[in-house]
Amino acid sequence: MLNKILMSFSQGVFFMILSAGSFCMMTVFVKLAGNSLPTIQIVFVRGLFTLIVTGFFLLKAKINPLGKNKRLLTARGLSGTIALFLVYESIQRFPLSEATVIQYLYPLFTAMIAAALISETVDRNILIGLFAGFFGVYAILGLPSLSNNYLDIESLVIAVCGSFLTGLAYVLVRKATSLNEHPLVVMFYFPFFTVPICLPFLFSVWEDPSLLEWCYLFLVGLFTQFGQLFLTYGYKELPATKAAPISYIQVFFATIIGIVFFDEQLTFNFLIGSVMVLFSIILVMSSGTKKD
pLDDT tens digits along 50-105 = 999 999 999 999 999 999 999 999 999 999 989 988 887 887 777 766 777 788 88
pLDDT at site 94: 75
**In this predicted structure, which of 26-35, 184-193, 276-285 has the lowest mean pLDDT?**
276-285
CB 49 within 8 A of CB 225: yes
Mean pLDDT for the stretch of residues 131-142: 82
Ramachandran sector of residue 132 (left: φ over 0; alpha: ψ -120 to 50; beta: rest): alpha
Kindly tell me the burial class for residue 212, based on how many C-beta atoms sit within 10 Å of its own C-beta (0-12, 13-18, 19 or more).
Answer: exposed
Q: At residue 292, does pLDDT exceed 50?
A: no
Say if CB 134 and CB 108 are below 8 A apart. Answer: yes
Name the maximum alpha-carbon separation found in the chain: 57
Q: pLDDT band for position 13 (50/70/90)?
A: confident
Least confident of 29-33, 37-41, 257-261: 257-261
Q: Which residue has the higher pLDDT, 9 or 77?
A: 77
pLDDT at 290 over 50: no
Q: Give the range among 21-30, 126-135, 179-188, 261-270 with minimum mean pLDDT.
A: 261-270
Q: Confidence band (pLDDT; 50, 70, 90) for 168?
A: very high
Q: At what angle do helices 106-117 and 153-178 cross, to 10 degrees?
A: 50
Structural contact between residues 221 and 33, judged by C-beta atoms closer than 8 angstroms: no
- Model confidence, pTM: 0.79
